[in-house]
Homo-oligomer: A and B are copies of this chain.
Amino acid sequence: MKNDHLYEKTIETKSIYKGKIIDLNLVDVELPNGEKSKREIVNHPGAVAIIALTPDEKLLLLRQFRKPLERTIIEIPAGKLEKGEDPLDAAVRELEEETGYKTNELKHITSFYTSPGFADELIHLYYTDQLLPGQTNMDDDEFLDVLEVTLDEALEFVEKEEVYDAKTVFAIQYLQLKKCLKG
């Protein structure tokens, strides 16, 4: 096996919690040097997020209360994958549910794990500037404000730590790079 010298073998997996969104497992591992250690692992269904520009080139953002942070932050539209759901379908669904905009054209930009040290959450990131009117349909426990902002306004939100999460900071930098490359 490639990278054998880094491999951590599972000795035993103990389930600590099985939840609505996440599970927590405690895994006893054998390290490459033969010693034992424990890994705390959060399992998550994965998520999608969408960089969406309106016809007048405004970025769609959502203000949401995030209980783990005990505050509101401003993020690009995003949502968890449902069981067995294709990420592209999930992105189309979440965009319309949360913002009221539909699209038939989503381009996959990149995917990344958010916290590979303790969680397996993988986010798939899409881009569109082809939006059509649709119909919002929030989850029962979801409350949010929809914003449409210029790139400069988005950068101000980053500066003021109102935009303050990985996917959204990445998304805004993506738009900066796109603009710079265009000339």
Which residues of A are interface residues toward B (Cβ below 8 A)?
3, 5-8, 16-17, 19-22, 24, 26-27, 29, 31-33, 35, 37-44, 47, 63-69, 72-73, 75, 80, 110-121, 123, 140-141, 143-145, 158, 161, 164-170, 173-174, 176-177, 180-181
Contacts and interface: CB of A to CB of B under 8 A. Distances in A.
A146 to B, nearest CB: 12
Nearest to A113: B165
Looking at chain A's contact residues, the main secondary structure is mixed
A123 B66 contact: no
A131 B178 CA distance: 30
A158 to B, nearest CB: 7
Given A16-B17, A166-B166, A174-B173, A117 B66 contact: yes
